[in-house]
Structure 1
Amino acid sequence: MSRPYGTGVPAVAGGLVSGVDAEARRALVREQAPVWNGIDSVEVLVHDSGPADAREERAATLLVRLLRAPAPGLLSARTVRVLGGVRPDPRLNPVGVVWAHRADAVAGGGPPPAGVTAEDRTLVERATSGAPGSRDRVLVVRTDSAGDWSTYVLALTGDDGSGPPAGFDAPLARAAFTFTVDCPSALDCAAGVPACPPGTAASPVLDYLARDYEALRTRLLDRLRTLLPDWTDHSPADPAVTLAELFAALGDRLAVWQDGVAAEAYLSTARRRTSVRRHARLLDHRMGEGVSARVWLAFRTDVDGWVARGTPVTEPFDGGLPPETVEEALAAGAVVFETCAGARITTALNALDLHSWGDPDHCLPAGATSAFLRHPKGLSPDWQDGHVLLLVPRDRAGTRGAEGRDGVGAARRQAVRLVRAPVAHEDPLYPGHRVLEVHWAAEDALRVPLPVTGGLDGGLPVTLAEALANAVLADHGGTVTETLAAPGRGQGARPRLGRTGLAWTESPPVGPRSAAAALRPDPRRAEPRIVLDDGLRRWSPATDLLSGDRLAATFIVETENDGTTRLRFGDGVSARRPTPDAPLVAAYRIGGGSAGNVAAGALATVLTRPGLPPLPAGARVANPLPAAGGTDPETLDEVRQLAPHAFRFPLRAVTSADHAEVAMRHPGVQRAVARRRWTGSWYAQEVALDPLSGADDPAAAASLAAEVAAVLETHRMTGTDVRTVTPVYVPLEVVADVCVLPGHRPGDVVADLARTFSAGVLPDGRRGFFHPDRFTFGTPLFLSDVVATAMDVPGVAWVDVGDDDERGLRFRRLGRPPADEVRRGRVDAAPREVLRADSDPGNPERGRVSFRPRSEP
């Protein structure tokens, strides 16, 4: 099918010219002014090949249809103008008129007018073939350019170029059109702008602060009264009032959601715990969810047996029917603990008396790390290093304080961990017993003195203390089982636990340094105690899902402010997605926080738990010591304060000061000093550690050095070696004369001075003058401190401290000549040196302090 040589469409139908509705104007002119003429439409003919030269811009042919036929010769190229579109200046992109003739003259049978070619005649004949009789009302205009994409105006003027032609209506003497008739457009060419736009109703005054129910209800009712002036029934039963209240309630809820979405987007304004946790995680801060308390349980049994891991114990119930299961105890509001590991309990380890070797008034001093125990020869306690003993006192009548509720020596109870195997001895005073010598960790040194014996009974000392050796560590939380709803197929499905208060516990340490360290769980290492089982695999909690592969059966635990817990699973890319519609069986523990820091004697009932073997016959349980270490979760305000600081916290060690700072973050390090040394091939950082206590214990020192070295390994720079060393201990020699006041025995005064200037713990719990924790790297010994401390001892009149070989006075380093220390008033220590004076006769190389009494000045 061939395309016509020329086609045309009306350029503007019903458009506005100078703000006048052309369609309405034409109708009026046709009916009421039949003598007037005007433009009906303008049609642009599309050329397949124009008569103009191909090298020049293609010309255009316009068909201007008039309402009536004009007088002959009235319209010509002189009276037709094409005004230039969006450019008011006609000199810019001008469109000129080459010729203008009536269609009957162009398409007639006579000779063509000037400038009209045969192709022009054919084009006009085809365009006006539908109504050849009306060609006298059509004006053919040839332009020298096709213009651009803007809208043009075709204007008919008089001979002088101003005003409309004679007999033409002025508004209809102009018509808008465009040359781009062959470009497709989805716009309606007949669409026009109404002459007078409809009026807009006055909008109500908006109050953007009206966001709650009462304010929204008031505004809605006010608006209804304005729109419905005849509405007078404003009672709550009126349907309009009911609808207004419904919309007000909906608006209140939407306002809450809008405020919540905006608030949860920032750490400083977030109110949901999950949002704060995620914001803090972006700052490399893990929100602390707290940690469960721990306690040492003492079991007594009539038959040897086994205590399984997870054995639950709870509070004693004096009245009513005591609970038997964990669910019943939790429903009653009781505190439940479960053992951290399995342990064998025997009758031989129920209780072992402390031995005094016949001393009727023996007492283990504060700071003691060894003792003697007595047990019948027929019983053989089988333990090695790492075994834990609970040292408890009892009164002279033999009443034990193991239960912790009798008030007997509550402050003297202490747990100790053995650091070596016991050594067996024989005592002829007790032919039927064996005596075991036990040593425990320096960190478990007695805090206060522990009386061992008091008086005689039948010629033998009365024992006032015993060791409970069936000790098992337990932490707060009771295990319950629940079947959760299936997660569903949506990625946002998060099952919720039916109980609140999920317990977070730290995995029990393997071979802790001391019994005291076992009661200090680290909240930063706490993990939620929950496991899931969907029948195919076992799911375990993780810190995040980004580090796991797509097959990892892990999930995230998210706890809200009210204690509810939701579980978030992976999407099949970073972690495994659970099987849709498969129920999950959850086993989790309820407890944790400071609520688990129960007092001594608070636990005395053993509960049953499905799947665990029962305890041996006659087994009883108690907690002689209080539970400790329970920490509540971090509050939102604490996270907001800590998270930014954690982000700025340096995670690298470059300089020597950086290495020392990292080492001092360990809780067992009092101070650390680092220096950069050349090894002969490369540089290495040598970090000297000054522990808080237990420096003389090789096992504790080695364990501390290994832990600090592991931390430094994660912070050091590549290519730098790091090693830990012990301090350079400098022994001191201090010999002084003391004048004793009348009425005081010189021997007692000297003994008090020896205790005051010792390296241990005094009977009242204070540390001695030369206790290891009082001197660290670079700490000098001041002469004034020695004199002031000695003068505080009762019975001391004055102290003569100096450095005189003839008089035997000393104030210097041991084995060194005097270096003017007395004149300067101090003994200096280098940055890597630690001063010490243990006054231990068995180790004289560790320094000594002695006082010589004088009865008169």
Structure 2
Amino acid sequence: MASSGPADVSGIDYVEVHRGGTVAQPTRIDIVLVKPLPLPHAALTGDNIALTGGVRFPAPGVEPVVGAEPGGTQVSRYTVTVPGGQPTDFSTYRLAIVEGPGSDTPPDFIDPRLSAVDFSFAVDCAADGDCAPSCPGLPEAAPPDPHFDYRTRDWEGFRRLMLDRMSVLVPGFREDDPVDLTTTIVEALAFRADQQSYTLDWIGTEAFLDTARTRASVTRHARLLDYTPGEGASARTFVSLSLTPGAASKDGYRLPAGTPVLPRSEALAPVVPAADYPAVLASKPVVFETLADLWLWRWRNDIALHTWGDERCTLPAGSTAATLVDGSEGSGPLQPGDFLLLVETAAPDTGRAQDVDPGHRHVVRLTRVTPVQDVLAPGALLDIEWDASDALPFDLPVSAQVPQPSGPAQRVVCAAARGNVVLAEHGATLPPPSHLNLPPSAGEALAPRLSPPAPQPGAAWRPVVSGGIGPLSRIAQHGPADPGPPSARALTAVDAARCLPEITLHDAFASWTVRRDLLASGRFARDFVVETGPDGRPQLRFGDGTHGLAPTVGDSLGVSGRFGTGPVGNLGPDALGHVVLPDADRRVPVSSVTNPVAASGGAAPEEDAAVRVAAPEAFRRQERAVTPADYAEAARRFPGVADAVAVSRWTGAWQTVIVHVDRQGGAGVDAAFRTGLLAHLESFRLAGFDVAVREARAIPLDISLAVCAEPGELRSEVGRRVRAALSPAGSHGTPGFFHPDRFGFGTALYLSVLLAAVLAVPGVQSVTPLVFQRFGRLALGELDRGVIRPAPTEVLELRDDPSFPERGRLRISTGGGR
């Protein structure tokens, strides 16, 4: 453009076309001058703008008013508006500044050579070709560099790419010379790039639950979703021992905790000397170890059940109490917490021991032991009781009358109790327990060890546990919220998700403890985590100095643990037969060792595929209590809770959530249970909320029925059947209609359902309800409506105990029959 000339002469520098979105919208054309013009010469109108050109459509007209953009006292930019509704084509148009309509001469202040410009209304439209003009005479472009394939991931690919690049940078480079230094360096770099590529691929693969291949990665992803995969569990069972009959011992024999129990073998005696134990372990047998000390007493080999003079005595299914003959004479008396085996010793129909039912064996844990007397049978007796969860699952005949080929029937004792019982768990401790008094060299070949044995500078120490006779034992952990003491049934119920490996590390100062994770470990806590390494062996992970202590470089840690887990430990009954005792105790008169019931609870690690399916759904399980319904749901997860209802109350200082609890079996909410439930709810409670536990409000019932027996039926027997069918205790191990677990919070009682239960009793011809209401209150028409509805925090109750009619009364009058 020209930058010199008269001060009051200018021209068109360029134009900008701003098209409307549609043909109906106006188009704006901005005219930019080469240099500004003074205002007296800058006045333009639509008559000074001439648009020409167009092939399909003629040039459009413009509005008469032309906008000006002044810069002080000068104008450098004009805006011309083309009204909408005037279509244009793709041809070239010409815009010129003229003196007036019909004139081709520009004004005096416009340079004639810069008074017009060619443009197109469709310059922004898509085109297939490049608008840049070709410029002959320019040098040809250099050839492209060798193509770099970003998908290259192996040594051969990296080597090929680098050699191709060298051939471009170094003319005459010979890539076929294997002894060339450059080729050697290229191959070394390709090797390192291959390693880095594998690392990146491994990180990308392990970063997602669906693609992770290592067990540790799968477990970590699942834990992020609040899902704890089962890593396996060790089986549990009860071991029963008997001493050789003879003179009673006043001292007994102590069987220490951790005593190994071996599978039955014809080549071994009941007592295996500790000196032979390492040789037995070399064959990697299924070993169990006792979990508590046990004192062995001869009188506990077989303890008679007292029948109180009943010739045909049976402990019915559901029993939680019995009477024993106390033969202790003050030595080794039974105490609460002891395990007791109830076993059938003779068949009740034949009286022979070989015909006993092997399923009639049941282990209970005593909760109460009370000395009693029978005036008709002198001697010391004991009333024993056990928890309802250990209730007898079958009818156990205690004494029976067995018919004889000739003469009267013979009375046969069919059952007994055995008290030398202890809980045992699958796994063998290595190195062997110290109470076996083995020399230090014994069992060294089977002792576990860490590889590498000590941390090295500059790298995280992730040692692998090797040795042992199998995988690490996974031990059931009972949380602080578990009610105690646990029953025999609870002790044998193993939850794989709550099991931890049984392993301990020792340094020069203290022991290291295994944890599920290190989130709650302090910076000085000697904690570690056991994970499954890529090769399937247990791998240890220590803290980082913030969450858990990190071992010092050069520290040597000793390792001890128990080995043996999985379903291989689920042995059948009588599969164990030997106990390992120190050489000093090898003459302990143990006559038999066995597991009277099958071992259970042994589980293999949860499959990765199963974890991938279950973990993404874990977030649907509410782990925080926000609403009262959340608190009730959390309370139902606590062992022993049948139902729960929560209500929120403002106590004047903060919000309190009152949780009403209905325990299983109608048990009361005692202090121990309340403490355990509050500890359980603490992990769900929101900050600023208080939690209180209340017992369910029981609503006793008053029911009276008139029952008509069928002809030929004994009316008294029919009445007994009806009462047995309705009473909470039921009959033959079957709960009755009014069992506490049948009615939860707000559960209504319908008269039609009650009458249907009565009519289902054999021998009942008809039934007529006489009283159907709450106990101790005036009737409110419940009999006419046929339903009794409790409040949401109330539970209906009918205990049918004449001593406590205020807990529900059931009256039955029987007619008809005979």
TM-score by length of 2: 0.67
**Partner SS for 1:747:** helix
**Is the Cα–Cα contact under 8 Å of residues 351 and 402 in structure 2 kept in the other structure?**
no
- Sort the Cα spacing of 1:749 and 1:203 in 2 relative to 1 into closer, same or farther, 3 A: same
Question: Match for residue 635 of structure 1?
Answer: 607
How far 1:650 sits from its partner (Å)?
4.2
Question: Match for residue 687 of structure 1?
Answer: 659
For 1:314 and 1:474, locate their aligned partners in 2 and report how far apart those are by CA, in whole Å. Answer: 11
Give the count of matched residue pairs.
621
* Residue type of the alignment partner of 1:449: D
**Partner SS for 1:793:** coil
Question: Match for residue 287 of structure 2?
Answer: 336
**Is the Cα–Cα contact under 8 Å of residues 484 and 583 in structure 1 kept in the other structure?**
no
Question: Match for residue 374 of structure 1?
Answer: 325
- What per-residue deviation string (whole Å, max 9, x for no partner) do you get for residues 78-105 of structure 1? xxxxxxxxxxxxx99xxxxxxxxxxxxx
**Is the Cα–Cα contact under 8 Å of residues 262 and 576 in structure 2 kept in the other structure?**
yes
Question: Match for residue 417 of structure 1?
Answer: 365
**Partner SS for 1:531:** strand
- What per-residue deviation string (whole Å, max 9, x for no partner) do you get for residues 377-429 of structure 1? 64644233222222112115999999xxx783344322222222322324543
Out of 708, 725, 747, the position equivalent to 1:739 is 708
Out of 776, 797, 816, the position equivalent to 2:777 is 816
**Is the Cα–Cα contact under 8 Å of residues 505 and 560 in structure 2 kept in the other structure?**
yes
How far 1:362 sits from its partner (Å)?
1.0
Out of 531, 534, 551, the position equivalent to 2:504 is 531
How far 1:272 sits from its partner (Å)?
0.7
Matched, 1:591 2:561: no
Matched, 1:832 2:793: yes
How far 1:198 sits from its partner (Å)?
7.2
For 1:654 and 1:407, locate their aligned partners in 2 and report how far apart those are by CA, in whole Å. Answer: 59
Out of 821, 842, 846, the position equivalent to 2:803 is 842
Matched, 1:722 2:691: yes
**Is the Cα–Cα contact under 8 Å of residues 771 and 783 in structure 2 kept in the other structure?**
no
**Partner SS for 1:366:** coil
How far 1:570 sits from its partner (Å)?
3.4
* Residue type of the alignment partner of 1:312: P
* Residue type of the alignment partner of 1:483: R
Question: Match for residue 290 of structure 1?
Answer: 232
**Is the Cα–Cα contact under 8 Å of residues 307 and 398 in structure 2 kept in the other structure?**
yes
For 2:640 and 2:716, locate their aligned partners in 1 and report how far apart those are by CA, in whole Å. Answer: 38
* Residue type of the alignment partner of 1:762: S
- Sort the Cα spacing of 1:834 and 1:842 in 2 relative to 1 into closer, same or farther, 3 A: same
- Sort the Cα spacing of 1:744 and 1:656 in 2 relative to 1 into closer, same or farther, 3 A: same
- Sort the Cα spacing of 1:305 and 1:818 in 2 relative to 1 into closer, same or farther, 3 A: same
Question: Match for residue 752 of structure 1?
Answer: 721
For 2:582 and 2:568, locate their aligned partners in 1 and report how far apart those are by CA, in whole Å. Answer: 22
- Sort the Cα spacing of 1:548 and 1:211 in 2 relative to 1 into closer, same or farther, 3 A: closer
- What per-residue deviation string (whole Å, max 9, x for no partner) do you get for residues 142-197 of structure 1? xxxxxxxxxxxxxxxxxxxxxxxxxxxxxxxxxxxxxxxxxxxxxxxxxxxx9778
Out of 384, 392, 396, the position equivalent to 2:335 is 384
Gaps of 5+ in 1: 1-90, 93-193, 224-246, 803-808
Question: Match for residue 443 of structure 1?
Answer: 389
How far 1:268 sits from its partner (Å)?
2.2
**Partner SS for 1:607:** strand
State the superposition RMSD in angstroms: 4.1
For 1:751 and 1:688, locate their aligned partners in 2 and report how far apart those are by CA, in whole Å. Answer: 35
- Sort the Cα spacing of 1:574 and 1:686 in 2 relative to 1 into closer, same or farther, 3 A: closer
For 2:321 and 2:448, locate their aligned partners in 1 and report how far apart those are by CA, in whole Å. Answer: 48
Bigger strand share: 2
Question: Match for residue 178 of structure 2?
Answer: none
**Is the Cα–Cα contact under 8 Å of residues 367 and 446 in structure 1 kept in the other structure?**
yes
- Sort the Cα spacing of 1:284 and 1:780 in 2 relative to 1 into closer, same or farther, 3 A: closer
Gaps of 5+ in 2: 1-33, 36-137, 165-188, 431-446
**Is the Cα–Cα contact under 8 Å of residues 478 and 591 in structure 1 kept in the other structure?**
yes
**Is the Cα–Cα contact under 8 Å of residues 393 and 401 in structure 1 kept in the other structure?**
no
- What per-residue deviation string (whole Å, max 9, x for no partner) do you get for residues 426-481 of structure 1? 4543x4x4211112222222222221211289999532222222221222211123
- Sort the Cα spacing of 1:637 and 1:702 in 2 relative to 1 into closer, same or farther, 3 A: farther
**Is the Cα–Cα contact under 8 Å of residues 504 and 592 in structure 1 kept in the other structure?**
yes
- Sort the Cα spacing of 1:317 and 1:706 in 2 relative to 1 into closer, same or farther, 3 A: same
Question: Match for residue 11 of structure 1?
Answer: none
Matched, 1:618 2:590: yes
Which 10-residue stretch deviates more, 506-515 or 587-596? 506-515
How far 1:638 sits from its partner (Å)?
3.6
How far 1:360 sits from its partner (Å)?
0.9
Alignment of 1:381-530 (within 5 A): 381-396=332-347, 408-429=356-377, 431=378, 433-455=379-401, 461-480=411-430, 481-485=447-451, 486-490=453-457, 491-499=459-467, 500-507=470-477, 511-530=484-503
For 1:713 and 1:820, locate their aligned partners in 2 and report how far apart those are by CA, in whole Å. Answer: 44
* Residue type of the alignment partner of 2:208: Y
- What per-residue deviation string (whole Å, max 9, x for no partner) do you get for residues 291-313 of structure 1? 32222222223451111111111
- Sort the Cα spacing of 1:770 and 1:407 in 2 relative to 1 into closer, same or farther, 3 A: farther
Question: Match for residue 206 of structure 2?
Answer: 264
Out of 608, 624, 633, the position equivalent to 1:652 is 624
**Partner SS for 1:488:** coil
For 1:546 and 1:666, locate their aligned partners in 2 and report how far apart those are by CA, in whole Å. Answer: 25
**Partner SS for 2:665:** coil
* Percent pairwise identity: 37
Question: Match for residue 544 of structure 1?
Answer: 517
* Residue type of the alignment partner of 2:605: P
For 1:211 and 1:788, locate their aligned partners in 2 and report how far apart those are by CA, in whole Å. Answer: 76
How far 1:779 sits from its partner (Å)?
0.9
Alignment of 1:8-23 (within 5 A): none
**Is the Cα–Cα contact under 8 Å of residues 233 and 499 in structure 2 kept in the other structure?**
yes
Out of 789, 798, 812, the position equivalent to 1:851 is 812
Question: Match for residue 649 of structure 2?
Answer: 677
Alignment of 1:783-798 (within 5 A): 783-798=751-766
For 2:521 and 2:146, locate their aligned partners in 1 and report how far apart those are by CA, in whole Å. Answer: 60
For 2:355 and 2:569, locate their aligned partners in 1 and report how far apart those are by CA, in whole Å. Answer: 21
Alignment of 1:222-237 (within 5 A): none
For 2:212 and 2:290, locate their aligned partners in 1 and report how far apart those are by CA, in whole Å. Answer: 38
Out of 245, 249, 256, the position equivalent to 1:308 is 256
Which 10-residue stretch deviates more, 385-394 or 358-367? 385-394
**Is the Cα–Cα contact under 8 Å of residues 308 and 374 in structure 2 kept in the other structure?**
no
**Partner SS for 1:706:** helix
* Residue type of the alignment partner of 1:360: E
How far 1:534 sits from its partner (Å)?
4.0
**Partner SS for 1:334:** coil
For 1:399 and 1:250, locate their aligned partners in 2 and report how far apart those are by CA, in whole Å. Answer: 81
- Sort the Cα spacing of 1:783 and 1:411 in 2 relative to 1 into closer, same or farther, 3 A: farther
**Is the Cα–Cα contact under 8 Å of residues 347 and 357 in structure 2 kept in the other structure?**
no
- Sort the Cα spacing of 1:277 and 1:854 in 2 relative to 1 into closer, same or farther, 3 A: same
Bigger CA radius of gyration: 1
* Residue type of the alignment partner of 2:767: V
- Sort the Cα spacing of 1:635 and 1:459 in 2 relative to 1 into closer, same or farther, 3 A: same
**Is the Cα–Cα contact under 8 Å of residues 348 and 412 in structure 2 kept in the other structure?**
no
**Partner SS for 1:421:** strand
Question: Match for residue 317 of structure 1?
Answer: 265
Matched, 1:564 2:537: yes
* Residue type of the alignment partner of 2:708: C
* Residue type of the alignment partner of 2:262: T
* Residue type of the alignment partner of 1:784: S
* Residue type of the alignment partner of 2:476: E
For 1:365 and 1:842, locate their aligned partners in 2 and report how far apart those are by CA, in whole Å. Answer: 23
Question: Match for residue 51 of structure 2?
Answer: none
* Residue type of the alignment partner of 1:836: E
Question: Match for residue 16 of structure 1?
Answer: none
**Is the Cα–Cα contact under 8 Å of residues 489 and 580 in structure 1 kept in the other structure?**
yes
**Partner SS for 1:709:** helix
For 2:145 and 2:626, locate their aligned partners in 1 and report how far apart those are by CA, in whole Å. Answer: 72
How far 1:283 sits from its partner (Å)?
3.6
